[in-house]
Structure 1
């Protein structure tokens, strides 16, 4: 059974937590003790109904404010598919949380309040989903019950968002009118909107194709990449000459006998054996965790990247990247940070802010000297050591990186590496 990881995003009070609660409740994915707990917590409601948002708004501060602050994860499954739900914060102050939550998702649900239409946070979250290369977008037009289930309202929002999607070059967009509060078109088809002939949200989640990445290429057709996490040298009497390189295959496929290159050194060898739980395999594919054995002894350490020699990644010390700034302290051109790509770390400096993206218009603003919290921009980095990566649009796993403040060890920026300069 395959797994779909998806994120829900939208403005404050668009109904994200209620939507997830409804999805879990109507698909019968709530345990009895969980249901009893939210029933007790909902006793203060005047109408006596169950507050389904409490399934995800677990923090006390979130319940008091009625907003989602942290990223919440929920797991459920149907007979057709397993799911991981990532509930992202709606408030602009917590946009950075969405970036971290969405980085591994295959689908994004962008909620739109039918009364308000497309707003700034809709644009912001859609831009982030686009930059992160999430292949599938669902525009969930919620609270249709508050606009009389009007087809005209639904159509107007679809037209407005379609213009937005065109600017973002988003192709796989699905529009679903719904009322999460009443359960319309979430799991069960609505009788209040007979004019809508598309799938319910759960129908779409169960059937959407997830084998392909954003570039349309299956994962196992991607160039083979293996970031080394640990070098295994037992040096015991029984395993005196044992040398294995442990890690997780982040893309592609490795086979016994493949010619490989170790980056950034450029040393070459062949795969002598592939080991999983003390068993030897002829091949291994993403996302397996394995131990690789090479035919020759090479100086390899944590952070090195093992790749098949016929498809090498970009290796450079000067790179362009799209950046989402995640710190309250401003970023200024010339600032120095620690850059982490996979398991590899090196110091770097922000040589230039090429342009900042205007969230409202998606226009490029040049001449910017600093970035504030949640700003998005294209930057040029200069690294102390060469880094090896694939452009993010081609490979999300090896093209993603983070900036770390060395003084506080806090992650201050999320990066999508685009290419060398």
Structure 2
């Protein structure tokens, strides 16, 4: 598709929308991907165990998930620009106040609550909702893949950047640099204004549906609940690996630089995984793609933890899990659009993402808690494998067809 074909008569080109949305996803996902590098120096500076900052990160994930449906509803009602700008400003404030958080409670507020709520308004989830409204229908799942891949690019870029900054200037200066970068979200949000951008293909039935009706319809749809439950596992894996893989490798006497490059490889390879998933989501049943991703995670994690852990195996694991990292997002958001249409995509995907963040909370918190209790991460890895198998099975019965309301609106008049 050419730039001319991507031109919108009512606003910025879709190409500009994609570029700015991807830039926001890259910027906002990057700092939180460095939490595994920050955990040890922050804990050592303040004399804390690993469970303290892990709990801050767990709170961040939980409040991100709680706030996501509400931020999505506001974005659906008033447009994404305001939501993204407010989220970017709150994100910058939370990062800037972290060096002043000398007590666990203060760190839970800044790194946990403030950044968590900020991410609900300024993250790839809101960007994906904007893409669902602003991009042509044939470009939606590919756009979802691009937005997700951009978040991974942020992980790839920010992880070695953070490692270098921490080594040279300390973690306090590192988070202040990140805070300054988050201010760029405000101008980048301008082309993603969506209040007037109602897809013409959504039909009268979709345009007149209220928020309450949309929620009621979704909660009465069994396939939506299967999607919600299955997405818990994705959050568990992502948060646990992000926060605890570098300390896990340190326990295996593998250097922190290897941990940093392992997380960087996760981000790099997830670019290919997310883009590939976006393409495959438009060419095959999305539920089968999701099931395959979860089953593949079970195999990969099992191989990593049950074989000897070396620098080479760690880097190989980073590359492999990267291919499967956020590749769940394009088919998941694509199923939501298929079931209910794009009108309330940001809100309805927000509820699915809430399950993801519950999993994130559990992954981070259990990682720190069980480590302090048992002295190892073995039990958490075993839980991660079991959840992979469970989610693979849960996604198989999903029915990828529009709800009755959309099907009736699309039926030809007699």
TM-score range, shorter chain: under 0.3
TM-score in terms of structure 2 length = 0.24
Higher helix share: 2
> Larger Rg: 1 or 2?
1
Highest RCO, 1 vs 2 (Cα 8 Å, sep ≥ 6): 2
TM-score in terms of structure 1 length = 0.24
Higher strand share: 1
